[in-house]
Chain A
Amino acid sequence: MSSPATLRKTAAVTVAAKPILELRDVKISYITRAGRIDVVPALSFSLAKGEALGLVGESGCGKSTVAYAIMKYLGGAGRITNGQILFNGQDMASMSEDQLRQIRGSKLAMVYQDPMSSLNPTMRIGRQLEEVPMLHMKVGREEARQRAIRFLGEVNLPDPELIMERYPHQLSGGQQQRVVIAMALMAEPDLLVMDEPTTGLDVTVEAAVLDLVAQLRHKHDTAIIFISHNLGTVLRVCDRVGVMYFGELVEEGPIKEVFANPRHPYTRGLLDSIPTMGADKHSRRLSPIAGQVPSALARPVGCGFASRCSFCEPATCTTVPIPTIAIPGEARHQAKCVRLSELPPHRRFQVVPGEATAEIAKSGETVLGIDHLYKIYRPSGTIFDSKPAEVRALTDIELSAERGRTLAIVGESGCGKSSLAKVLTGIEVATQGKVKLIDWEIGHVPVEKRNQAQKKSIQMVFQNPDSTLNPSHTVGFAIRRALQRLRGISASQAKTQAAELLRLVNLPMEFVNRRPRQLSGGQKQRVAIARALAGDPALIIADEPVSALDVSVQAAIINLLIDLQDKRDATLVFISHDLSVVRFLADHVAVMYLGRVVEYGTVEQVYAPPYHPYTEALLSAAPVAEVGKERERIILEGTIPSATKQIPGCPFASRCPRKIGSICDDQPPPEHVTQQGHRIACHIPLGDLAKLNTRAAE
Chain B
Amino acid sequence: MAQAEQALKVKSSGRFWRRLKLLTESPIGVAGAMLVLFWVFVAIFAPWLAPYDPNANNYEALADPLPNDMFLLGTDNQGRDILSRIIWGSRTVLIVAPVATFCAYVVGCILGLLSGYYRGWVDSVISRLADILLSFPAIVLYILIIMRLGPSAINVIVAVIFVASPQIIRIVRGITLEQRELDYVTAAKMRGESAIYIMLVEILPNTRGPLIVDSCLRMGYTTIQIGVLGFLGLGLPPPDPDWGGMVQETYSMMSTWPHMSLYPAIAISSLVVGFSLLADGLREISLRD
- Are A and B in contact, CB atoms below 8 Å, in the complex? yes
CA distance A503 to B124 in the complex (A): 47
CA distance A399 to B25 in the complex (A): 59
Is A473 in contact with B183, judged by CB distance below 8 angstroms?
no
CA distance A450 to B182 in the complex (A): 21
Is A468 in contact with B187, judged by CB distance below 8 angstroms?
yes
B183-201 toward A: CB 8 Å interface, digit per residue (1/0)?
1101101111100000000
Q: Which residue of B lies closest to A459 (CB)?
A: B190
In the complex, chain B residues 182-235 whose Cβ is within 8 Å of any chain A Cβ: 182-184, 186-187, 189-193, 202, 205-206, 208
Is B183 in contact with A455, judged by CB distance below 8 angstroms?
no
Given contacts A467-B184, A468-B184, A474-B7, is CB(A485)–CB(B205) below 8 Å?
Answer: no
Residues of chain B lying within 8 A (CB to CB) of residue A382? 124
CA distance A382 to B124 in the complex (A): 9
Given contacts A486-B191, A531-B187, is CB(A470)–CB(B202) below 8 Å?
Answer: yes
Residues of chain B lying within 8 A (CB to CB) of residue A467? 182-184
A-B contacts counted at CB < 8 A amount to 71
CA distance A468 to B288 in the complex (A): 23
CA distance A535 to B190 in the complex (A): 11
Chain A min CB distance to B2 (Å): 10
A465-503 toward B: CB 8 Å interface, digit per residue (1/0)?
001111111100100011001100001000000000000
Is B192 in contact with A455, judged by CB distance below 8 angstroms?
yes
Is A474 in contact with B192, judged by CB distance below 8 angstroms?
no
Q: Which residue of B lies closest to A494 (CB)?
A: B3
Residues of chain B lying within 8 A (CB to CB) of residue A477? 4, 7
Q: Which residue of A lies closest to B208 (CB)?
A: A472
CA distance A474 to B192 in the complex (A): 19
CA distance A472 to B190 in the complex (A): 19
CA distance A492 to B148 in the complex (A): 56
Q: Is the C-beta of B8 less than 8 angstroms from some C-beta in chain A?
A: yes
Is A535 in contact with B187, judged by CB distance below 8 angstroms?
no
Is A462 in contact with B187, judged by CB distance below 8 angstroms?
yes
CA distance A468 to B193 in the complex (A): 16
Is A473 in contact with B7, judged by CB distance below 8 angstroms?
yes
Chain B min CB distance to A527 (Å): 11
Q: Which residue of A lies closest to B11 (CB)?
A: A472
Q: Kindly identify which residue among A33, A459, A473, A531 contacts B25, using a CB–CB cutoff of 8 Å.
A: A33
Given contacts A33-B25, A477-B7, is CB(A455)–CB(B187) below 8 Å?
Answer: no
Q: Which residue of B lies closest to A458 (CB)?
A: B190
Q: Kindly identify which residue among A460, A463, A482, A491 contacts B3, using a CB–CB cutoff of 8 Å.
A: A491
Chain B min CB distance to A232 (Å): 28
Q: Kindly identify which residue among A459, A462, A470, A482 contacts B206, using a CB–CB cutoff of 8 Å.
A: A470
In the complex, chain B residues 1-49 whose Cβ is within 8 Å of any chain A Cβ: 3-4, 7-8, 11, 25
Given contacts A33-B288, A447-B189, A486-B191, is CB(A464)–CB(B3) below 8 Å?
Answer: no
CA distance A462 to B188 in the complex (A): 13
Residues of chain A lying within 8 A (CB to CB) of residue B288? 33
Q: Is the C-beta of A425 less than 8 angstroms from some C-beta in chain B?
A: yes
A444-466 toward B: CB 8 Å interface, digit per residue (1/0)?
00011010100100111011100
- Chain B interface category by residue count: 20 to 34
CA distance A471 to B186 in the complex (A): 14
Q: Which residue of A lies closest to B123 (CB)?
A: A382
Chain B min CB distance to A509 (Å): 18
Given contacts A33-B288, A471-B206, A473-B7, is CB(A460)–CB(B182) below 8 Å?
Answer: no
Given contacts A472-B8, A474-B11, A477-B7, is CB(A460)–CB(B124) below 8 Å?
Answer: no
CA distance A448 to B187 in the complex (A): 12
Majority SS at the chain B contact face:
helix
Q: Kindly identify which residue among B182, B186, B191 contacts A482, using a CB–CB cutoff of 8 Å.
A: B191
Residues of chain A lying within 8 A (CB to CB) of residue B189? 426-427, 447-448
CA distance A472 to B192 in the complex (A): 19
Is B124 in contact with A470, judged by CB distance below 8 angstroms?
no
Q: Which residue of A lies closest to B25 (CB)?
A: A33
Residues of chain A lying within 8 A (CB to CB) of residue B186? 425, 427, 460, 462
Is A469 in contact with B190, judged by CB distance below 8 angstroms?
no
CA distance A163 to B8 in the complex (A): 53
Is B191 in contact with A469, judged by CB distance below 8 angstroms?
no
Is B190 in contact with A447, judged by CB distance below 8 angstroms?
yes
CA distance A462 to B182 in the complex (A): 10
Q: Which residue of B lies closest to A517 (CB)?
A: B289
Interface-centre pick from B11, B186, B193 (highest chain A CB count, 10 A): B186
Residues of chain A lying within 8 A (CB to CB) of residue B191? 455, 459, 481-482, 485-486, 534-535
CA distance A469 to B202 in the complex (A): 10
CA distance A535 to B288 in the complex (A): 38
Chain A min CB distance to B191 (Å): 4
Chain B min CB distance to A97 (Å): 28
In the complex, chain B residues 162-200 whose Cβ is within 8 Å of any chain A Cβ: 182-184, 186-187, 189-193
Chain A min CB distance to B243 (Å): 38
Residues of chain B lying within 8 A (CB to CB) of residue A447? 189-190, 192
Residues of chain A lying within 8 A (CB to CB) of residue B202? 470
CA distance A448 to B11 in the complex (A): 29
Residues of chain A lying within 8 A (CB to CB) of residue B205? 470, 472-473
Is B192 in contact with A462, judged by CB distance below 8 angstroms?
no
Is B184 in contact with A460, judged by CB distance below 8 angstroms?
no
CA distance A482 to B184 in the complex (A): 12
Residues of chain A lying within 8 A (CB to CB) of residue B124? 382
Residues of chain B lying within 8 A (CB to CB) of residue A469? 184
CA distance A532 to B187 in the complex (A): 8
Residues of chain A lying within 8 A (CB to CB) of residue B193? 485
Residues of chain B lying within 8 A (CB to CB) of residue A462? 183, 186-187
Interface-centre pick from B3, B8, B25, B208 (highest chain A CB count, 10 A): B3
Residues of chain B lying within 8 A (CB to CB) of residue A460? 186-187, 190
Q: Which residue of A lies closest to B288 (CB)?
A: A33
In the complex, chain B residues 121-168 whose Cβ is within 8 Å of any chain A Cβ: 124
CA distance A467 to B185 in the complex (A): 9
Q: Which residue of B lies closest to A464 (CB)?
A: B183
Is B192 in contact with A452, judged by CB distance below 8 angstroms?
yes
A522-565 toward B: CB 8 Å interface, digit per residue (1/0)?
00000010011011000000000000000000000000000000
CA distance A450 to B191 in the complex (A): 10
Chain B min CB distance to A603 (Å): 28
Given contacts A382-B124, A471-B206, A474-B11, is CB(A485)–CB(B192) below 8 Å?
Answer: yes
B271-289 toward A: CB 8 Å interface, digit per residue (1/0)?
0000000000000000010
Residues of chain B lying within 8 A (CB to CB) of residue A532? 187
CA distance A491 to B205 in the complex (A): 22
Chain B min CB distance to A523 (Å): 15
Q: Which residue of B lies closest to A447 (CB)?
A: B189
Residues of chain B lying within 8 A (CB to CB) of residue A471? 206
CA distance A658 to B11 in the complex (A): 59
CA distance A448 to B186 in the complex (A): 11
CA distance A458 to B288 in the complex (A): 39
CA distance A482 to B231 in the complex (A): 56
A418-462 toward B: CB 8 Å interface, digit per residue (1/0)?
000000011100000000000000000001101010010011101
B70-85 toward A: CB 8 Å interface, digit per residue (1/0)?
0000000000000000
Given contacts A33-B25, A452-B192, A485-B191, is CB(A470)–CB(B184) below 8 Å?
Answer: yes
Interface-centre pick from B4, B189, B208 (highest chain A CB count, 10 A): B189
Residues of chain A lying within 8 A (CB to CB) of residue B8? 472
Chain A min CB distance to B128 (Å): 9
Residues of chain A lying within 8 A (CB to CB) of residue B4? 477, 481
| A-B residue pairs in contact (CB < 8 Å), sample of 18 | A33-B25, A382-B124, A425-B186, A447-B189, A450-B192, A460-B187, A460-B190, A468-B183, A468-B184, A469-B184, A472-B11, A477-B4, A481-B4, A485-B191, A485-B193, A491-B3, A515-B11, A531-B187
What are the 5 A-B residue pairs with the smallest beta carbon separation, nearest first? Answer: A472-B205, A462-B183, A467-B182, A485-B191, A470-B184
Binding site for B on A (CB under 8 A): 33, 382, 425-427, 447-448, 450, 452, 455, 458-460, 462-464, 467-474, 477, 481-482, 485-486, 491, 515, 528, 531-532, 534-535
Contacts beyond the supplied A473-B7, A528-B187: 8 A-B pairs with Cβ under 8 Å:
A455-B192, A459-B190, A463-B183, A470-B206, A472-B208, A473-B11, A485-B191, A532-B187
